[in-house]
Structure 1
Amino acid sequence: MSSMPRTRIDYGSHPAQFGYLYTPLGVDGPVPVVMLVHGGYWSADFNLNLATTLASELARRGLAAWNVEYRRVGAGGGWPETSADIEAALAATATLLPEQSPVPLDTADVRIVGHSAGAQLAVWVAGQRDCPVRPTRVVSQAGALDLASRAATRSGGAALTALFGVSYADDPELYRSASPLHRVPTGVPTVCIHGVEDVQVPVAASRAYVDAARGACDRAVLWEVPGEGHNDFLNRTTRSWALTLQAVVDQDPWSIR
């Protein structure tokens, strides 16, 4: 399947501070921007290629997709460098992207999609109320949204210690400051999608987040996907993939039952 037109845009001077802007063909008016934040344990072992197929598909559907790379552990990253990059990439949707986009962008409608560790970053940046760009919605795919509980498990502890440079036991407040569950309300409507069979990030993380968000008067909904797991979001034949497109594109996904 052919890719849509894309433009490389550097939002900083570090080699990892860039993204590809995918734009639709044959559009006249301004189009919404969807920022994509890939996952992969915040590690340099993974890169923005994970979101390339979704970026192309969104452009095919008439939106601009901003697929961002960022400093990761092993590539200049860690906390707060990684989070600073996500905030800078979001801010760039109002400055650098309109200057370099081949189509007009609706910079008042910026949506964010993140997968796994990328979902943690996406929901985290939605809570940065002093960021010059406030997203109109966030879509969390299998999000690592409860870092404090995850740090206590054998599966999540090592990646988080590498990200923060310190264990949860030694600095629990640092973990909570980065944990979406502990940062509600964000004031940004959120759709969490999670496979029931996910073993890397159990669905309980999204359940806890949505309960907390609603309790804090945020608009949040959880779509659980029976029979699918963590990486089904990367496969365009799955229900997780279809629901992601619905959550990003539909006018009011929060009212869907």
Structure 2
Amino acid sequence: MSARIKIAYGEHPEQFGHLYLPAEPVDTSTPVVLVVHGGFWSGQYGSNLGTQFARALARAGAVAWNIEYRRVGAGGHWPQMQQDVRSALDVVAGDVQRHAPVGVDDVRVVGHSAGGHLAVWLGGETDTAVRPSRIVAQAGVLDLEPSAFGRTNPAVEALLEARYEDDPVLYRSASPAARAPIGIPTICLHGSQDVQVPVAQSERYVQAARAAGDDARLTIVPGEDHFAFLDPDSRCWALSLDAVLGRGDEQ
């Protein structure tokens, strides 16, 4: 099992992450991967959802930084989540480097579901100390407006603490779809049988990002659902590893 180090990136109990180091020595050429778990932005779900994938990344030779963040019912809503993902990314240039001699030029971000929303949104932040080199969204929630779901989404209302009718500007500002172009290669993966997050979320994002000039790609995985990304035996899992680690980029 890869080494695990707990690092706090803030004072709140939910502001921490686990750093997973590969067995082999690391240096400035070793990629660092920020893992952002999903779970409807809810405090009912935690960073343990990302643990298996983080360990798989470390076994493959990457440094994995699996973060927790303040969530609805666990210390935060949208303003706090913005702050937390930014801080967790920037800590790569601080505490993470104190534990492993990695560089900051190849920091990749992967997020599942609500974590995919946070990962791609983070790519639109241009003033962070660390800038991601690639982003992988696994069934990401990439547009928060009700039209993107075909209905009002209670989890989004809880996240933003507002109804769309009362603050459409807030919904737009929190939607990755409204931030393109972000200038970072982005890979969207989605199971064709996903009923939690419509495949159209990824389709529409990639179409808009490409139209804006971004390098954005989409893979729809036949026959797999929203939770396949948490299953090491799934095609979604294998494709996610390939996307994060850059395997098959030459194809």
Q: TM-score range by the shorter chain?
A: over 0.9
Scaled by the length of structure 1, the TM-score of the pair is: 0.94
Contact 1:151 1:157 in 2 (8 A): no
1:250 alignment partner in structure 2: 246
Q: Write the letter of the residue equivalent to 2:71.
A: R
2: CA distance, partners of 1:4 / 1:109: 20
Alignment partner, residue 32 of structure 1 = 31
Matches within 5 A, 1:90-101: 90-99=89-98, 101=99
How far 1:152 moved relative to its partner? 6.0
Shift of 1:108: 1.3
The answer to whether 1:85 aligns with 2:76 is no
Alpha-carbon distance, 1:150 to partner: 5.7
* Total equivalences in the alignment: 250
2:44 equivalent to 1:45: yes
| SS state at 1:80 partner | helix
- 1:168 is aligned to 2:196: no
Matches within 5 A, 1:172-251: 172-250=168-246
Match of 2:140 in 1: 143
Q: State whether residues 146 and 153 of structure 2, in contact with CA within 8 Å, keep that contact through their aligned partners in structure 1.
A: no
Which sections of structure 2, spanning at least 5 residues, go unmatched?
A: none
Show the counterpart of 2:101.
104
Q: What is the CA distance between 1:110 and its match in structure 2?
A: 0.3
Report SS of the residue matched to 1:91: helix
Match of 2:19 among 7, 18, 21: 21
Which consecutive aligned stretches of 4+ in structure 1 deviate over 3 angstroms post-superposition?
149-154
The answer as to whether partners of 1:127 and 1:183 remain within 8 angstroms in 2 is: yes
Task: State the TM-score, normalized to the length of structure 2.
Answer: 0.96
> Using a 3 Å threshold, how does the CA distance of structure 1 residues 151 and 75 change in structure 2: closer, same or farther?
farther
Following superposition, the deviation at residue 252 of structure 1 comes to 6.2
Superposition CA RMSD, Å = 1.4
Deviation at 1:33, TM superposition (A): 0.5
Paired AA for residue 58 in structure 2: A
Task: Give the superposition deviation at 1:142.
Answer: 0.3
Q: Deviations over 1:101-152 (max 9, x none)?
A: 2x32122110000000000000001000111111000000000001113676
Distance change (3 Å), C-alpha of 1:150 and 1:75: farther
* TM-superposed deviation, 1:195: 0.4
Query: Could you tell me which residue of structure 2 aligns to residue 6 of structure 1?
Result: 4
Distance 1:139 1:152, change over 3 A: closer
Alignment of 1:102-141 (within 5 A): 103-141=100-138
Cα distance in 2 for partners of 1:243, 1:203 equals 16
Percentage of identical aligned residues: 52
Tell me the CA shift for residue 29 of structure 1: 2.8
Cα distance in 2 between the residues matched to 1:181 and 1:95: 30
Question: Which structure 1 segments of 5+ residues have no match?
Answer: none
